[in-house]
Amino acid sequence: MQVYMDNAATSQRKPETVLKAMEQFFKEINCNPGRGGYELSLEAGRRVIEARAALAGFFSAEDPGQVVFTPNITVALNIALKGLLTQGDHVLITGLEHNAVVRPLTALSKERGVTYTVLPADSRGIVDPQAVIEAVGPNTRMIVATHASNVCGTIVPLEEMGKLAKEYGLYFVIDSAQTAGCLPLDFEGLNASVLAFTGHKHLLGPMGIGGFCVKKEVAERMQPLYEGGTGSISDREEQPGFLPDKFESGTLNTLGIVGLGAAVEYLRSIGVDKVRAKEMELTGKLLNGLRELPGITIYGPQDPRLQTGTVALNMHGIDNAELCYVLDQKFGIMTRPGLHCAPLAHKTLGTFPEGVLRLSLGHFTTEEDIDYVLDCLRKVCQALTA
């Protein structure tokens, strides 16, 4: 038996409709959108427009032009941070941020004297949005918040943060890597300046495609990270200033965009609320089962209402890297140990530098999978205490 418990890294299985849409595009179209005057190039362009519209609908962005495609969320976040922050700006971040946020900010602190404050969180990673009020200063320009921790699943109160960002006139940048596709996200309703997403996790698309939704007035002030060919206003040497071309230089990952468009349509047909309800049920089952095992420490909220299907743990008497190896080699269970590219989150949780073993559920996880994982963990616990 094989059980995939690494959905926080990427969702391994994809809906049939995604595979079919990609195969059809690759076999029958596969021409460059916006770069040819013939029917197949125009059709490729139409597929991109359709996917853009599907994503705009999915995230409740008013205009599909506000959806910009990038290779992944790391690039999207780099564009947002490096395109908006200037000399001496101050940023507020949560203690759960991934290196996709922390490393660009660290680079910006060296290049542009940008400073940042980590908003305090409790040992479960829960952030009190009121901390924004205490940390905001005259140079504060931006709040950057992950919607949920990729280590222990803790959900961040975006709504309250978005309100405060609006009140204080700050940019609000959301990292939805761990929640887009499994928690509802309303770009306009959250007062977000930029909502960054990655296609290959809970959105159930392929790897190599992500992007962001951006407010029009924010896009005007945001500098592009790259310039180059866009297939538009080719007589000009300067980068177009309009969306989405301003931020989409070079040939797009059209195959990935087609796959992501189909994935988003699939999720809309089911309803993210239903996806979330199932995830909560299975997360509850996993947490209840883990609590009954001897020698297991669980990190994070330990409450499916306050977290995603990502659960962090350590087992007494075995290193988490070794536990990962045993689960894989002996039982066919795929997990991720260590620091998960999020040392800051581990510092918040008190699990730095040893890290944790991460079990992350996904859309295709079943009750049987959870039973099997619990059973195997029980066997490892028993072997350690025998």
Ligand X SMILES: Cc1ncc(COP(=O)(O)O)c(C=O)c1O
Strand ordering across the sheet containing 67-70: 67-70, 210-214, 194-198, 171-175, 140-146, 90-94, 115-119
* Residue nearer to ligand X on the CB measure, 100 or 282: 100
Ramachandran assignment for 77, one of left (phi > 0), alpha (psi -120 to 50 degrees), beta (any other): alpha
Q: Which stretch binds ligand X (CB under 6 A): 53-61, 112-120, 174-182, 239-247?
A: 174-182
Q: Which of 97, 6, 1 is nearest to 309 (CA)?
A: 6
Which residues, 65 to 124, sit near ligand X by CB under 6 A?
72-74, 98, 100
Q: How far is the CB of 62 from ligand X (least distance, A)?
A: 25
Q: Dihedrals φ, ψ of 174, to 5°?
A: -110, 130
Rule CB under 6 A: is residue 146 a binding residue for ligand X? yes
Q: How far is the CB of 146 from ligand X (least distance, A)?
A: 5
Q: Which stretch binds ligand X (CB under 6 A): 108-116, 123-131, 137-145, 175-183?
A: 175-183
Q: How far is the CB of 110 from ligand X (least distance, A)?
A: 21
Rule CB under 6 A: is residue 308 a binding residue for ligand X? no
Q: How far is the CB of 369 from ligand X (least distance, A)?
A: 21
Q: How far is the CB of 336 from ligand X (least distance, A)?
A: 10
* Residue nearer to ligand X on the CB measure, 198 or 307: 198
CA 171 from chain centre, in angstroms, equals 19
Q: How far apart are CA 261 and CA 49, in angstroms?
A: 10
CA angle 48–51–53, rounded 5-degree value: 110
Interface residue with ligand X, options 150, 253, 302, 365 (CB under 6 A): 150
Give whole-number Cα distances, 167 to 60, 129, 132, 170, 220, in Å. 22, 13, 11, 8, 21
Q: How far is the CB of 291 from ligand X (least distance, A)?
A: 25
Cβ neighbours around 24 below 10 Å, total: 13
Interface residue with ligand X, options 175, 245, 265, 279 (CB under 6 A): 175
Q: Is 294 exposed, middle or buried (0-12, 13-18, 19+ CB in 10 A)?
A: exposed
* Residue nearer to ligand X on the CB measure, 154 or 191: 154
Site string for ligand X, 182-201 (x = CB under 6 A): ----------------x---
Site string for ligand X, 312-351 (x = CB under 6 A): -----------------------------x----------
Rule CB under 6 A: is residue 5 a binding residue for ligand X? no
Q: How far is the CB of 245 from ligand X (least distance, A)?
A: 22
* Residue nearer to ligand X on the CB measure, 178 or 254: 178
Which residues in 205-220 are b (16+ Cβ under 10 Å) and which e?
Answer: bbbbbbbbbbbeebbe
Rule CB under 6 A: is residue 178 a binding residue for ligand X? yes
Cβ neighbours around 18 below 10 Å, total: 23
Q: How far apart are CA 153 and CA 241, in angstroms?
A: 38
* Residue nearer to ligand X on the CB measure, 52 or 340: 340
Strands 194-198 and 210-214: antiparallel
Q: How far is the CB of 100 from ligand X (least distance, A)?
A: 4
45: helix, strand or coil:
helix
Which residues, 41 to 60, sit near ligand X by CB under 6 A?
none
Rule CB under 6 A: is residue 356 a binding residue for ligand X? no
Q: Give the residues lining the site for ligand X (CB under 6 A).
A: 72-74, 98, 100, 146, 150, 175, 177-178, 198, 210, 341
